[in-house]
Amino acid sequence: MDLGSNFATKLEPFLLIAKSVKGAAAAKLIQDATAAPGVFVFSELLELPNIQELGKNEQSVKHLSLLQLFSYKTYQDYLREYEVTLSPRTFLISVEHKDTLPPLNEAQITKLKHLSLVTLAADRRILPYSELFKLLDMPNVRELEDLIIDAIYLDILRGKLDQKEGQLEVEYTMGRDLEPGKLESILSALKNWSSTTASVLATLDEKINDIAKEASYNKSRHAEYENQLQANLKDILDRKEKQNMVNRRTALGDRDNVPMDIDEPPLELAKGKNRKAPQEVNPKIRKRNKF
């Protein structure tokens, strides 16, 4: 579910009541809507004729200014001078200080700080604590982080607290109401974004094509290298086998052609040539024993 998708539903009860109230009752409705939990968009309420009529009365115009503050202004706008532009049928009012607005209760101040955090997060992805202290008038890190965590639980922004670096890393934010006169700047920003995106996509397509060509070239080179390697290995093996066959033939030929010495006696005679011939038995002794 997208951030802020149920905020319009939260505003519906106030829209129904606003169609039938005027004057002080309409001013009281604005106070209730800006303090109500879960109500963070106010453009539909601001556009109702009964609410716009508050700008025609000096006593009630400050409540219309209050609704405009919560629609598209920030906490810093609440603290300093700013201008409030009403519909073309009304007039321009200069609000010089927060004291000229209806007093805000604690719930309204907290909500305004949450909305201001959304505006800041929409412009920058990294929000240092040092800047948030000043812009949101927060006294210490503990209260600032509690405010950010509450905003995340309220589903008006998504991000991560980096306590080591002392900053908020923004992932996504809800959209706030569009301030009158800002439509052209939004359209211009969208056109620039579209042009930049198209340029980036074209560059990415070109890089992808280059990578695909390089991969195809490397693949063909690798196949060529493998084929050459296998051919070289086969050639080496063939040469080695031929050399082995030559060596075996040479060895066999040398053994068959070994010359034989004719004066060398046979092996059996050679073994016994150093032996003495058996001595003949003394014939005399043999005769002596003969009877």
The predicted-structure confidence for 109-165, as pLDDT tens digits, reads as follows 999 999 999 999 988 899 999 999 999 999 999 999 999 999 999 999 999 999 999
Extended strands (E) in 75-176: 82-85, 92-95, 126-128, 157-162, 167-173
pTM: 0.63
Extended strands (E) in 79-148: 82-85, 92-95, 126-128
Q: Specify whether the CB–CB gap between 115 and 77 falls below 8 A.
A: no
- DSSP labels, 171-215: EEEPPPPPPTT-HHHHHHHHHHHHHHHHHHHHHHHHHHHHHHHHH
Question: Above 60 in pLDDT, residue 258?
Answer: no
Question: Above 70 in pLDDT, residue 204?
Answer: yes
Give the residue with greater pLDDT, 249 vs 159: 159
d(C-alpha 291, C-alpha 287), whole Å: 8
Give the residue with greater pLDDT, 224 vs 268: 224
Tokens at residue 177, please? 């109401």
Helix, strand or coil, per DSSP, at residue 248: helix
Per-residue pLDDT of 41-82, as tens digits, reads 999 999 999 999 998 888 889 999 999 999 999 999 888 744
